[in-house]
Structure 1
Amino acid sequence: MTSATTPHDSGRMIRALSLPGLIRLVSDLDDHGPLSRRRGSLQAAFDDLTADQLRLALDRARAFGLVHGDADERVRYRLTPRGEGLADVYDTAARWARTHQYPQKESDFVTRVQRTLTLLSQTLATTGYASGTGEACGLPASGSAPLSHSAMADLNGPQSALTAWLQTGPSAPQRTKTSCRQTVDEMEPAA
């Protein structure tokens, strides 16, 4: 696979990265470290996700090279350097959203990341492939208050982080069916 090079590829990749289970998996592994092989530790760590949601998140994480596990180790899943980079992108997106109360003041981490990635995807679609120094184009924030000029200017931080991450790794796999009847590039809303 090659890095995302067109607005369409980038948009597809961003939608693929917006899965709530994937955001949770990557962020939790980044915050709390690797998961052990202890029976039930995976489902216990993500008890608010269904088995299908967790399976889809793990399948996507493996496909993107975000997690690694070795059968001979005590660790079941750990983030790869690429996964650590994505965790930084998620943190940057959530920090921007929290600072600008996007989409709402009381939004949770996953919703903040999802909505910021959606906004970035719209920005890429409008301006073409982001160079990492491109300026956000003043898109209206659907379903929330209009973004201020400073919020749009500050969006360059998450945009640069995401663009750099997209340029360093594989693109989104082609649409593939999953066991829970969703395609890889469909975005599931946060719970």
Structure 2
Amino acid sequence: MNTSLSTAEVRQVCNRLSSPGLIRLITEIDDNGPIPPRGLARTLADLTEHHLRQATDVARALGLVRIRPGAGLGLTTSGAELADVYDAIARWARRHAYPAPVADFTGRIQHTLAFLAGTPAADRLPSVQALADLAGTREVLNQWLQAHWQAARLAELELAA
């Protein structure tokens, strides 16, 4: 990836971005609009309180969400752009049956992010055609990282403390 982040930093950011709770939070808000105050647990009922807190902490640290008075938890521009990255990754993964012919949305994003970061989480590698098609998806992620690398770096420091 041609970003100002080191390979290790790209892996760290991709690891954060592949959190199931974060994926669910960002895509839920992108698909259905802001989550009303006190509505997070009801909206994402399949996530534990710990996972909800962890997802919102990471999302806030990365500048992906903010509280909108009267509306609730909504996406920032960076969060909306990340939702587009998630959608591009999921489309590529679905089209190429990655990591498996049957996989859920979150799993497809997790495995593809791991592959893009150079840490494949699956035994099955994409086909030659899939790798060629991956260039566009890689570019979408690269553009997001280019635009938001400083927030990602600061968030990593904050979350590690």
Q: TM-score, normalised by structure 2?
A: 0.89
Shift of the alpha carbon at 1:5?
2.0
User: Is the contact made by 1:34 and 1:75 (CA closer than 8 Å) also made in structure 2?
Assistant: yes
Distance 1:60 1:6 in 2: 20
CA distance in 2, matches of 1:5, 1:177: 17
Instruction: Specify the code of the residue in structure 1 equivalent to 2:159.
Output: T
Two-structure CA RMSD over aligned residues (Å): 1.9
Pick from 138, 143, 148 the counterpart of residue 123 of structure 2.
143
Write the letter of the residue equivalent to 2:72: R
Amino acid of the structure 2 residue aligned with 1:149: V
TM-score by length of 1: 0.76
The 1:14–1:141 alpha-carbon spacing in structure 2 relative to 1, beyond 3 Å, is closer
Deviation at 1:79, TM superposition (A): 0.3
Question: Shift of the alpha carbon at 1:109?
Answer: 0.3
Aligned to 1:176: 159
CA contact (8 A) 1:66 1:79 kept: yes
* Partners of 1:76 and 1:51 in 2: CA distance: 18
Structure 2 unaligned residues grouped into runs of 5+? none
Structure-2 separation of matches of 1:79 and 1:93: 19
SS in 2 for 1:49: coil
**TM superposition shift of 1:11:** 1.2
Cα offset, 1:174, TM superposition: 2.3
Alignment of 1:70-149 (within 5 A): 70=68, 73-122=69-118, 142-144=122-124, 146-149=125-128
Alignment match, 2:135: 156
SS at match of 1:77: strand
CA distance 1:141–1:35, change in 2 (3 Å): closer
Higher CA-based Rg:
1
Alignment length (residue pairs): 155
5+ residue gaps, structure 1, are 124-139, 179-191
User: What's the offset of the Cα at 1:6?
Assistant: 1.5
Structure 1 residue 163: Cα displacement: 0.5
**Whole-angstrom distance in 2 between the partners of 1:74 and 1:60:** 23
Write the letter of the residue equivalent to 2:143.
Answer: A
Name the CA distance, whole Å, in 2 between partners of 1:118 and 1:11.
8
**2:23 counterpart residue number:** 23
Q: What secondary structure sits across from 2:100 in the alignment? A: coil
2:52 match: 54
The share of aligned pairs that are identical, in percent, is 41
Looking at both structures, which has the greater relative contact order when contacts are Cα pairs under 8 Å and sequence separation is at least 6? 1
Structure richer in helix, relative to its length: 2
Question: Cα distance, 1:22 vs. partner?
Answer: 0.1
Instruction: Show CA shifts across 1:126-165 (max 9, x none).
Output: xxxxxxxxxxxxxx87322x42111000111211011000
Amino acid of the structure 1 residue aligned with 2:140: A
Q: AA paired with 1:35? A: I
